[in-house]
Amino acid sequence: MTDDFGPTKAAPISTTLTTDDGLRLEAQWAVPDQPRNRVVIAHPHPQRGGNMHSLVVSALFHHLAATGCAVLRFNFRGVGGSEGSHDFGEGEQLDVRAAVEAMAATAHNQCPLVLAGWSFGADLALTCDALELAGWFLVAPPLRVLQADRFKAAADARPKRLAVPERDQFNPPEQAQAAIAGWSNTVICPVGGADHFLVGRTDRLNDLLDEFLAGL
């Protein structure tokens, strides 16, 4: 069965983002005429095989596109067709910002804009506190890619939802709960029956993201 793309759905198309330091990043987005929400998704660690087609990123991307949201995913610098090289979480902050700016520039600024990420991408999402954002949806954030003081979103009053696998090998729910003590407007949602890689549990992530978006 194929999707019936119409005014509230859009077929994904390839695009290119440009960062503030002049790199061109490979990206893909779907932007319907009348989106319900707008979401940018950042992928897991490039040095561990992460890219914009990784499992969780793909599951969220296609779910959002099929349910009438505008959605953008991209490859960090040095990944796939993106220029540059891995910068250990530093230059990648510019990549995230470029993606947020691209989505914010669409003609749908009445729709909430959410920044999402999985693993490395979740930690990088936390470094961005762009004014255009309505909130953050973070899947299995290790909370250690960068020093904690780099997570600008932590003290931000806008909502943050952390979907944390109950058997996460790097940051299980109880450890994540301790790490976010003192964060503003942050809720952890354990994902039962899942480890860090969420195989077989992406439907639950889709549900959690839908719930989060509906509350904005």
Any residues with CB less than 8 A from the CB of 201 and at least 6 apart, and which? 165, 191, 193, 194
Question: What are the pLDDT digits (tens) for 123-136?
Answer: 999 999 999 999 99
| 92 pLDDT higher than 70 | yes
Q: Is residue 147, in this structure, part of any structural domain at all?
A: yes
Range of the domain at 48: 13-214
> How confident is the prediction for the chain on average, in pLDDT?
95
Q: How confident is the model at residue 8 (pLDDT cuts 50, 70, 90)?
A: low
| 3 pLDDT higher than 50 | no
Q: Is residue 88, in this structure, part of any structural domain at all?
A: yes
- The predicted structure's pLDDT at residue 193: 96
Mean pLDDT, residues 37-47? 97
Question: What are the pLDDT digits (tens) for 24-38?
Answer: 999 999 999 999 999
Domain harbouring 36, CATH code: 3.40.50.1820
Q: What is the 3-state secondary structure (H, E, C) of 76-87?
A: CCCCCCCCCCCC
Q: Is residue 6, in this structure, part of any structural domain at all?
A: no
Question: What are the pLDDT digits (tens) for 45-65?
Answer: 999 999 999 999 999 999 999
Q: Is residue 1, in this structure, part of any structural domain at all?
A: no
Distances (CA, A) of 216 to 36, 37, 91, 135, 207: 11, 9, 30, 8, 15
Q: Is residue 5, in this structure, part of any structural domain at all?
A: no
Q: Is residue 193, in this structure, part of any structural domain at all?
A: yes
Residue type, 103: M
Quick check: 38 and 112 in contact, CB under 8 A?
A: yes
Q: How confident is the model at residue 7 (pLDDT cuts 50, 70, 90)?
A: low
Q: How confident is the model at residue 5 (pLDDT cuts 50, 70, 90)?
A: very low
Quick check: 160 and 135 in contact, CB under 8 A?
A: yes
Q: Is residue 64, in this structure, part of any structural domain at all?
A: yes
47: region left, alpha or beta (phi > 0 left; psi from -120 to 50 alpha): alpha
Q: How many domains does the chain have?
A: 1
